[in-house]
Structure 1
Amino acid sequence: MSEPLLPARLRRRGFLAGALGVGATAALTACTSNEAPSSGANVAAAPAAGNNAESGTPVTIGFSAPAADHGWIAAIANNAKAQADQYPDVTFKPVNPTNDVTQQIAAVQTLINDRVNALVILPNDGSQLTSVGRQAMDAGIPVINLDRIFDSPLAYRAWIGGDNYGMGASAGHYIGERLRTAGVANPIIAEVAGIDNLPLTEQRSAGFRDALQTYGFAVGPRQAADFTAQGGQRVTANLLQAAPRLDAMWNHDDDQGIGVLAAINQAGRNEFFMVGGAGSANAMREIQADSSVLKATVTYSPSMASSAIALARLVAQGRGMNDLAEREVPASITLASATITRENVADYLPLGFES
């Protein structure tokens, strides 16, 4: 999860682009004045430092992530390896994926003892893995923290991940606009969340709630599942039984969306439309076919793992991102969440991961 020619900000292994040496254009912004600089002002110009894709000092990058028992996580691991394979100067050293925090800590400690040149870590739990991130950084091994963030910036050199709040906001705006255009007053809007004790779920729900409020709408019945198809089917069946009428639904995760759709079909419900989350190929094919209640999904792309490897390589080699004026790789990069509909799904489908 060979790349077709897609919009630069969307390419699986290239959204950070010229800077990361994978062939697209970055869309990173900074706080600037709206006025042109006056004559003689100090203006920072990006140095012409060469192509980041050119080979540099050979480096070994360690990689640790949860077990690939979920389509999105599987795509994370696949993308990381595929990106590393592009570089002749990178030795990719993954450890066994695990959903056990203690085992993940032990695996990362093995990589630290092996003196890898950089680490990319998607922790099962950011808080519980913070200490091992600190161990690596204290040992002089830069850590690229992927998605689930550590508690302390001292535990990582750079963080890259999705915009959970923005994901919820994108879903809320799509639903709000569609209902307002249809002239629906006082709509009943359901939400099937992921795991409620995860900060990412709280952020997604907050973005969804805040976006709907701008239209004068509110979230109606809400159930939390567990990011699995089985959990999605179970909680959606309960939600539908308790809500005889709905106007719209947002499901946080396209993997659990398989079960959500199954429950909707079993209940024979089609009076509402649904928005998914993350951008799986399965969901996009449903949207393209336009044969179910699923009409859109909002992205949370596993391409972030590809870019994390690219960042780790640059940091380990002491290089910056040559499209930027600064000489150092940024400390934090947040991906934007796009809304995929029938009108643009063909552009995004090659990026989809299989649930």
Structure 2
Amino acid sequence: MSHSARTIIVAGIGVLALAACTSNTPKADPSDAAKTQAVSAGKNDEPGKKVKIGFSAPAADHGWMGAITKATQAEAKKYSDVELVVAEGTNDVNLQISQVETFINQKVDAIVLLPFDGAALTAVATKAMEAGITVVNVDREFGSPAAARTTVLGDNYGMGVSAGGYVCSQLKDKKDSIVAEIAGIDSLPLTQDRSKGFKDALAGCGLKVNNRVAAEFTVESGEKAAANLLQAAPKIDAIWNHDDDQGVGVMAAIKNSNRKDFFLVGGAGSANVMRDIKAGTSLVKATVVYPSTQGADGVRLARLLLQKKALGDLVEVEVPRKVQLFAPVVTKDNVDQYLPTAFES
């Protein structure tokens, strides 16, 4: 989704071929169709109908969340036909509901909404849709498909699968390896999905999670959880930490322990972790990306929907109902590809 959406014109090649067989019409040069498509490429980015889009997200008290809002604002500024109205980030569900109510009263054309709690924001998002406002749901799904026209998601289960797959690739010849996991907030479905993906991937190579602790996506909680883990597990071969922001605390605890008997895989894909991976001087050997472009992608999709355009790289003439972004593993071999879009912890 990082590439610009473009309009595709499907040429009537079959009709041209039939005409060539039954008349004196010159046979179509295949390059002509390519030229036609090339001419139309990029038209989605050309200025169109002016659109007003409201944006609401949780408070930027976390590097990833801050990057979401920053990237969303930067993306909107690229388009002269987009007016972005940004509500102040909040972790108060009632206040976020009020923000959406305000957008409805302002009669915005679309709302890009990353809800603090998807279930709690479902009713007001549905109200916006019923008022004729296009809602694009970002990251945390609503409780009803009727609450949004399109949803942009990361892949939490896929993060776990990617992390587990990397651990397997490094420990494939060591079946007695001890694997540890530092999760995020255990009550959240996203944490549960990440842990399930990790467990399932490890099972594929005969490994399992031997030691597990949960943190709270903060530096302080990461340090405390990691300290408890290191004290409880005298032998560890690999650790997967779900979140690079809490990973700052995790690394502090590891430094204090003087332990170097394992490697670590991060989560979300922060720039500081990627720089450590590139330098090759850290115990962190990889991280798994959870894209911070989702709000920016939401703005692009809202604009396409309002201007009645489609995704240029698809044959389908409508914007999909759901777009799920990939969770790639970043290592020293490919880190330069991902650093430019990484967030700062």
Counterpart AA for 2:164: G
Q: Compare CA radii of gyration and give the structure with the larger one.
A: 2
Match of 1:212 among 191, 202, 205: 202
Q: Identify the residue that residue 190 of structure 1 maps to in structure 2.
A: 180
Q: Identify the residue that residue 11 of structure 1 maps to in structure 2.
A: none
1:286 aligns with 2:276: yes
User: Deviations along 1:110-142, whole A, 9 cap, x unmatched?
Assistant: 011100000000000111111111011111101
Q: Is the 8 A contact 2:244 2:273 kept in 1?
A: yes
Q: Identify the residue that residue 4 of structure 2 maps to in structure 1.
A: 17
CA RMSD of aligned residues (A): 1.9
1:98 aligns with 2:90: yes
Match of 2:295 among 305, 319, 337: 305
Q: Identify the residue that residue 85 of structure 1 maps to in structure 2.
A: 77
Q: Distance in 2 between matches of 1:136 and 1:327?
A: 24
SS, match of residue 121 in structure 2:
helix
Counterpart AA for 2:337: D
User: Deviations along 1:3-31, whole A, 9 cap, x unmatched?
Assistant: xxxxxxxxxxx52434389xxxxxxxxxx
Aligned pairs, number: 319
Relative to structure 1, the CA distance from residue 208 to residue 253 in structure 2 (aligned partners, 3 Å threshold; closer, same or farther) is: same
| Structure 1: gaps spanning 5 or more residues | 1-13, 22-38
Q: Is the 8 A contact 2:4 2:45 kept in 1?
A: no
SS, match of residue 91 in structure 1:
strand
% identical aligned pairs: 51
SS, match of residue 54 in structure 2:
strand
Q: Distance in 1 between matches of 2:316 and 2:336?
A: 36
Q: Is the 8 A contact 1:120 1:145 kept in 2?
A: yes
Q: Is the 8 A contact 1:16 1:307 kept in 2?
A: no
Match of 1:199 among 189, 208, 221: 189
SS, match of residue 296 in structure 2:
helix
1:138 aligns with 2:130: yes
Match of 1:250 among 240, 263, 271: 240
Q: Identify the residue that residue 236 of structure 1 maps to in structure 2.
A: 226
Q: Is the 8 A contact 1:20 1:53 kept in 2?
A: no
Relative to structure 1, the CA distance from residue 304 to residue 81 in structure 2 (aligned partners, 3 Å threshold; closer, same or farther) is: same
Shift of 1:206: 0.6
Superposition pairs of residues 44-193 of structure 1, within 5 angstroms = 51-180=43-172, 183-193=173-183
Counterpart AA for 1:287: I
Shift of 1:309: 0.5
What TM-score does the superposition give when structure 2 sets the normalisation length?
A: 0.89
SS, match of residue 271 in structure 1:
coil
Q: Identify the residue that residue 352 of structure 1 maps to in structure 2.
A: 342
Match of 2:216 among 208, 212, 226: 226
What TM-score does the superposition give when structure 1 sets the normalisation length?
A: 0.87
| Structure 2: gaps spanning 5 or more residues | 9-16, 19-32
Q: Distance in 2 between matches of 1:222 and 1:292?
A: 22
Shift of 1:351: 1.5
Counterpart AA for 2:151: W
User: Deviations along 1:133-186, whole A, 9 cap, x unmatched?
Assistant: 101111110110001010110000000111111110000000011001xx3221
SS, match of residue 44 in structure 2:
coil
Relative to structure 1, the CA distance from residue 263 to residue 252 in structure 2 (aligned partners, 3 Å threshold; closer, same or farther) is: same
Q: Is the 8 A contact 1:20 1:307 kept in 2?
A: no
Counterpart AA for 1:69: D
Shift of 1:321: 1.9
